[in-house]
Amino acid sequence: MSILKIKTVCTIFVLILSACSKGDQTIVKSPPPGIINTDLIKLEDVLKIDSSEFIFLINKVRGSVGKKGSGSKVIWSKKNEYNLGLYVSANHVYGLDTWPNREESFIDISEINNGVFLGSQIPKRDGAIALGNELIADFGLYHPEIPLHATNQSIHPAFDFYIGNLDNQRIEDNGFAVYPSKVQMEQALELYDPVKRTLDSQTWDTAESLDTILAIGYPQDKLNFPNGAISTGLVLSESEALSTIAILKNLGDEEGNIPYNHNVEFMAKAKALPGMSGGGVFNSKGQLLGIMVRATNLDTQPLIRVVRITYIKEKLTSFYHSLSPSNQYLILPFINGEI
């Protein structure tokens, strides 16, 4: 029995869960074969669920979540000047020492070519489940301050995110290291976005207590999750999250030593595996709530920690306004539409 006391909310996600409580009644649904009482599901199995509403939601968001090396990333929007993919991922996925320095900074990708193909993938433009061997050009753009003592394992959520751009350069992975040309601005990024989620007037939202969430990423366990995985869950309140951190600390779990800041992150009852860091967490409308950065279990209940997109947006906006006009001019075309 979980130590946390959380009211269960009935939503379309009931098709994945075995039951949910509503008043004095219990609504029981039968999940598809092979998905009974599981909390992390293969993407291809999720798309077999007999619910047009749920499948619509999955298809609305899944084209925005891709791979980044051994982790994941999520396209925040495509509303910048060039309609490139403005994406977010975890700093520990990028690798802290990969950046030129640890001070809050940006890279002028219109002049400096820091692009890579290796390990960068997003779902195919036609919505096929398998990613195949197609790689897409990936450019690191901005990162917050990275404390000198931080490592890829110990970095706190407040610093564990970065922002990049994806353009439309693509190659087939043939096992050789190939680097893209400088970021291409002539052609909009093409991606699987059937209802144009990435062009919505508000592609994001604030996570609130008891919100139902959908977490999507690419586990390193390719045998069991070859094409990505999905977990559903509920957002914890601030008091529940703080209590959870205190309990974990008493139990000696390393998460108990990572401070919790409600303005920076939220915690949710949901499952993630290594490789899903940097993946997207969405609400039931398909709006981006944040990115997964850490995970643990408490009394068999899986928990994830998610950097809020509202915090990321706030940090990016503040950084932009701190720049000189000439530097604002350099970065704005790649981030406008979301600041």
- pLDDT in the model for residue 1: 20
pLDDT at residue number 26: 28
Which band of pLDDT confidence, cut at 50, 70 and 90, is reported for residue 19?
Answer: very low
Q: Terminus-to-terminus CA distance in the chain, angstroms?
A: 43
Q: Distance between CA 181 and CA 281 in Å, rounded?
A: 31
Section 80-89 average pLDDT: 98
Q: Is the dihedral of CA 245, 250, 251, 256 positive or negative?
A: positive
| Whole-number pLDDT of residue 218 | 98
- CA 141, CA 143: separation in Å to the nearest integer? 7
Report the pLDDT value the prediction gives residue 175, as an integer from 0 to 100. Answer: 87
For residues 136 and 124, is the Cβ–Cβ distance under 8 A? no
For residue 106, the model assigns a pLDDT of: 98
> Is the distance from CB of 332 to CB of 142 less than 8 angstroms?
no
Does pLDDT of 25 surpass 50? no
Average pLDDT of the residues of the chain: 90
* 118-177: pLDDT as tens digits: 999 999 999 999 999 999 999 999 999 999 999 999 999 999 999 999 999 999 998 888
pLDDT, average across residues 316-322: 98
- For the ranges 24-33, 35-44, 224-233, the maximum mean pLDDT occurs at 224-233
Residue 10 reports pLDDT greater than 60 = no
Nearest to 230 by CA among 18, 38, 40: 40
Q: Among 37-46, 213-222, 318-327, whose mean pLDDT is lowest?
A: 37-46
Residue 179 CB partners (closer than 8 Å, separation 6+): 113, 115, 116, 117
Angle at 282 between CA 12 and CA 44, to 5 degrees: 65
Exposure pattern of 59-78 as b/e (b: 16+ CB <10 Å)? bbbbbbbbbbbebbbbbbbb
3-class SS at 77?
strand
Helix and strand totals (H; E) in the chain: 6, 16
Residue 39: pLDDT band with limits 50, 70, 90 = confident
On the question of pLDDT at 17 being above 70, the answer is: no
* Coil vs helix vs strand at 319: helix
Q: What is the pLDDT of residue 50?
A: 87
The pLDDT of residue 22 is above 90: no
pLDDT of the residue at 33: 36
By mean pLDDT, which of 35-39, 47-51, 150-154 is the weakest?
A: 35-39
**Structural tokens at position 116:** 């890579």
Share of the chain above pLDDT 70, in %: 89
Residue 15: its pLDDT value, please? 42
- pLDDT, average across residues 303-331: 98
Residue 150 has φ and ψ, to the nearest 5°, of: -70, 145
Confidence category of residue 107, pLDDT binned at 50, 70, 90: very high
State how far Cα 166 lies from the chain centre: 15
